[in-house]
Structure 1
Amino acid sequence: MTGGTGYGRTLMVQGTTSDAGKSTLVAGLCRVLKRLGVEVAPFKPQNMALNSAVTAEGGEIGRAQAVQAQACGLSPHIDMNPVLLKPCSDTGAQVIIHGRAVDNMEAGRYHDYKAVAWQAVAESHDRLRQRYRAVVVEGAGSPAEINLRDRDIANMGFAERVDCPVILIADIDKGGVFAHLVGTLELLSPTEQARIKGFVINRFRGDIGLLQPGIDWLEQRTGKPVLGVLPYLHGLHLEAEDAIDTAAGELEKSDDALNILVPVLPHISNHTDFDPLRLHPQVRLTFVGPDQEKPPADLVILPGSKAVRSDLAWLREQGWASYLMRHLRYGGRVLGICGGYQMLGEQVDDPLGIEGPAGCSAGLGLLPVQTELKADKTLRNTRGRLMLNGDHEPVRGYEIHCGVTQVAAEAAPLLVLDQGADGAISDDERVAGCYLHGLFEQPEACEAFLRWAGLARARRIDYLALREAGIDRVADTLEQYLDIAAVKSLLALDQEGSR
């Protein structure tokens, strides 16, 4: 990372609820500040998500921070998300500090560990302030979660320690926006209330004139300004922090659209892999949840998983094993990515209990591979070639996995990467799998996969350009509907200017 000398200013965005728009607002603010010539970096002290990204130095951070880094024109760095929690059960998570997994912890144990986690947060934030003129911080969940306020490092606990101003955002599309804002404010301490410098109302649709009386009441009641009312952006795409976004299902699809199914595993990870497919005009992608109907499809993709053996058992309980056999008999194709690739093999062995109770599970038996989970996690960005349909199309992406997979000598690899062969293709070429996330982001590789799945004339879509356009669209919206002068004032840019 590069930047000026001295210490930059910090501005934090907190939300009244999860999915209020914090990630999007931070990304948009980062792009607006970049346009103004301000050296800016994103920061999230603590993130809980199964969508992650690999940094240039081989660390793991939340995927939302990687998108925010892109908005700043920066490469993702471990300091942008020093604490990442990857849930592996209802009460436990893998704890990742400065890009590296340190242990699996139950909630109570992690609560005691927060003093150590805070040191990582403080060190990263300090380094960012030394390098950048502005640091825009994303909170987590809501600051009014009373049960989590003790030793909080994600919301007001962080803001109080570093003494930074806060913008509070709420989603009006869910209803009850004034109750969310006033209620959140009322549940904060007096010093925390003073720290909130203004509100943002997100995802508004309708006549702003009808909302104005409510805005006037809110400002009079709280003594705090509404800094902006942001419109609902139909068709906006920014990679989701964690929740599966099905909005692309609303997009119009062509008559020759390929039907793709993705089972929503209980511990599904990195489902952002499928964003290029969801946005493709010739793909109708359906996420299939528990007990939902499994319609006929051209391609089924088994996604990544944070608990492979547990999710493999779930697949069998949900009837996916028999569905896949029938699907293949009728000419369908199956692809596995990371954990899904491991499931397609002959067995998954977890002798150390890396992802749950120690043991060995029989795989689906569709690829001649065997996997053993190891303590050391593979984390790397890489590139290479796709060996499918006789094509050698370029691919690039990232690996995040604990498994070491042995492939039968006679099996053909799906990819040849800088580090060597990866994945496998079945003899009849109907089943394939590999470890590489981001498979569909390269236009040539995505087109090749769609041809393999049965789409004779697949269009070439530049997903990376779509992602960049989404960031710009948010920034354009903020420039029109948000009080940017107030934001600059909170960062003291109106006093000192950019460096």
Structure 2
Amino acid sequence: MTHPKKDSVRLAPIMFAGTGSDVGKSIISAAFCRIFLQDGYSPAPFKAQNMALNSYATPEGLEIGRAQAVQAEAAGVPCHTDMNPLLLKPTTDKVCQVVLNGRAKGNQEAYEYFKTEGRDELRKAVNQAFDRLNSRYNPIVMEGAGSISEINLRAVDLVNMPMAIHAKANVILVADIDRGGVFASVYGSIMLLTEEERKYVKGILINKFRGDIRLFESGVKMIEELCGIPVIGVVPYYKDIYIEEEDSVMLQTKNLQATYGKVNVAVVLLRHLSNFTDFNVLERDPRVHLYYTNNTDEIEKADIVLVPGTKSTLSDLYELRRNGVAQSIVKAHKKGATVVGICGGYQIMGMEVCDPNHVESSIERLPGLGLLPVSTKMEGEKVTRQVKFAFLDKKDICEGYEIHMGATTFVQGTQASSLNEIEGGLFDGCFVNERCFGTYIHGILDNKPVVDFLLAPYIDKISEETFDYKKFKEEQYNKLADHVRAHVDMDLVYEIMMQVND
């Protein structure tokens, strides 16, 4: 079959919904964003509601889920709030910060958020965001959330089947065969849908298969006979393709010990750690051995200690002081380790963090690590923006983004200087010396001059060449697209997407 061209036909939106959480919807959506781009279309991602601590600033200075920013990158387009109009950022097990169309609307308890009252306003907002996006791109690659069949939440669902029906999208149900029970999860998910909802499910994708796919050919036929819906592909599990993860559930598996022959970089494993994607570049850099830890001995063995962003600075600072990690960071620095803080980590490295108006917590003040001569006061207005900056007065123009609460100022009489000069005459961060500095800028490590500066004191341990992260990411998106394309019936996918749901 010859694939239809973007200028000859408009493809219906496609939604990748799941039998459950962590079945691979985000990665599959990113793969199809890149596939459609490769095939000459102008795709864009969309997820009506996302729950994650990993977020990103759009070019307009608004906030969306990082997963949709990654998918936009795979699609080759700038990210926009219309791609993720509703973002929930957990602050505790029961409370989330609600971000609507890129702006924080305050905190809300989960019980209150999921009540039917007030859903019409949110539903209208996410539907309008989709409509705007759909008028600008072709096709829209939609992502569901969690399970497609949470029947207890059907009346308040904004992101799965109600969104698919509004968008007139063709739904592909994604199932994770690696976790077991794939027949029950697929069949049960479809049977729990209403008769009207079931009409929109046009395909099934089996994800994370291990072994010889030929052994599952009979399983494919059984699923198709049981459900009356075609299986568009069985995608094998992969280990050699690196795409940003949506959440931090796997960080504990990266809790590895320091090793020899490379620069050992320890990321402090905070309870409310956010934007851990700041460190993906180092994780892939062949010169570096990166690991996440809150073990005091492993922190003290590191060449470089990175204090990451956090959704709850005061709470995590309190925990660091309680469990002895704060003292181990200071001790590591005294022994010669480089310590760098990003966003909340920058605040933690200062002399104090104050919250007199209880913006973030009931704690009004805590002493910081005392490594940077700055003081932070929590304020209600959130800063979200993309920035271009000069790092340490160098000529290279670097890029990153800010998402933070609070204002940080130098302590009077300090000898330290700003780390970055932002375009427009603003300054960011604090620089004490090459082994001690902090910044509000997420993504700062994606810039080669910054990483080279960070690793320079340990040059005697490095034998590998420098690392081009942007080129690496492009290679990974293409490898992912090739992997999925090789195991999915794309002719069938295009045939499905030329069907319009009435």
Normalization by structure 1: what TM-score? 0.91
Asked if 1:478 corresponds to 2:484, the answer is: yes
Deviations 1:448-489 (A, max 9, x none): 111146666463111111111111112112221111122212
Tell me the distance in 2 between the aligned counterparts of 1:9 and 1:290: 50
2:371 counterpart (366, 371, 391): 366
Task: Tell me the amino acid that sits aligned with residue 21 of structure 1.
Answer: G
Residue in structure 1 matching 2:63, options 60, 65, 77: 60
- Identify the residue that residue 475 of structure 2 maps to in structure 1: 469
Question: Which stretch shifts more, 86-95 or 312-321?
Answer: 312-321
CA distance in 1, matches of 2:120, 2:359: 25
Matched with 1:416 is: 421
The alpha-carbon distance between structure 1 residues 429 and 479, as it changes in their structure 2 partners (threshold 3 A), is closer
8 Å CA contact 1:115, 1:151 repeated in 2: no
Q: Does 1:395 align with 2:398?
A: yes
- Structure 2 equivalent of residue 497 of structure 1: none
Residue identity opposite 1:16 in structure 2: T
Quickly say closer, same or farther: Cα 1:316–1:113, change in 2 above 3 A.
Answer: farther
2:331 aligned counterpart, secondary structure: helix
Q: Secondary structure at the match of 2:446?
A: coil
Aligned to 1:146: 151
Alignment of 1:350-389 (within 5 A): 350-357=355-362, 359-387=364-392
SS of equivalent to 1:411: coil
Q: Deviations over 1:274-309 (max 9, x none)?
A: 000011112111111589965611111110011100
Superposed displacement of residue 317, structure 1 = 2.1
Q: Mean Cα displacement is larger for which, 440-449 or 450-459?
A: 450-459
Change (3 A) 1:291 1:407: closer
Measure the CA separation in 2 of the matches of 1:200 and 1:443: 38
DSSP 3-state at the match of 1:149: helix
Superimposed CA distance per residue, residues 237-264 of structure 1 (whole angstroms, 9 cap, x where no aligned partner): 111222354599699x995211111122
Gaps of 5+ in 1: 495-499
Residue of structure 1 aligned with 2:304, choices 299, 303, 323: 299
Most deviating of 145-154 and 302-311: 145-154
Alignment of 1:404-483 (within 5 A): 404-408=407-411, 409-418=414-423, 419-426=425-432, 429-452=434-457, 457=462, 459-483=465-489
Structure 1 position 45 matched with structure 2 position 48: yes
- Counterpart in 1 of 2:3? none
Contact 2:300 / 2:329 at 8 angstroms: preserved in 1?
A: no
1:35-76 CA distance string (max 9 Å, x none): 222222110000011111111111111111111112222100
Q: Say if 1:447 and 1:459, in contact at 8 Å, map to a contact too.
A: no
**In structure 2, C-alpha distance between the alignment counterparts of 1:484 and 1:424, rounded to whole Å:** 51
Amino acid at match of 1:85: L
**Paired residues, number:** 489
**Alpha-carbon distance in structure 1 between the residues aligned to 2:499 and 2:148:** 26
CA contact (8 A) 1:422 1:435 kept: yes
Q: Distance in 2 between matches of 1:455 and 1:108?
A: 55
| Structure 1 residues 87-123: Cα deviation after superposition (integer angstroms, max 9, x where no partner) | 1111111111111111111112222443222111011
Distance in 1 of aligned mates of 2:250 and 2:98: 25
Q: Which residue of 2 aligns with 1:103?
A: 106
Residues 393/443 of structure 1: CA separation in 2 closer, same or farther (3 Å cut) = same
Q: Distance in 1 between matches of 2:296 and 2:390?
A: 37
Asked whether the 8 Å contact 2:11–2:498 carries over to 1, the reply is no
Distance (Å, rounded) in 1 between the aligned partners of 2:395 and 2:59: 25
- Flag structure 2 segments of 5+ consecutive residues without an equivalent: 1-5
1:340 maps to 345
Distance (Å, rounded) in 2 between the aligned partners of 1:118 and 1:278 = 39
Q: Equivalent residue of 2:157, what SS?
A: coil
Q: CA RMSD in A?
A: 2.7
Q: What's the % identity of the aligned pairs? A: 40
Q: Kindly tell me: are residues 62 and 102 of structure 1, through their superposed partners in 2, closer, same or farther at Cα, counting changes over 3 Å?
A: same
Q: With structure 2 as the length reference, what TM-score do the two structures score?
A: 0.91
The yes-or-no answer on 1:215 pairing with 2:220 is yes
Partners of 1:147 and 1:91 lie apart in 2 by: 18
Q: What is the CA distance between 1:26 and its match in structure 2?
A: 1.0
- Aligned pairs (5 A) from 1:142-291: 142-246=147-251, 256-288=261-293
Tell me whether 237-246 or 461-470 shows the greater mean CA deviation. Answer: 237-246
Counterparts in 2 of 1:146 and 1:264: CA distance versus 1, 3 Å: farther
**Separation in structure 2 between the aligned mates of residue 164 and residue 65 of structure 1, nearest angstrom:** 18
Q: Which amino acid aligns with 1:433?
A: G
Match of 2:80 in 1: 77
Alpha-carbon distance in structure 1 between the residues aligned to 2:398 and 2:145? 33
The yes-or-no answer on 1:491 pairing with 2:474 is no
Shift of 1:161: 3.4
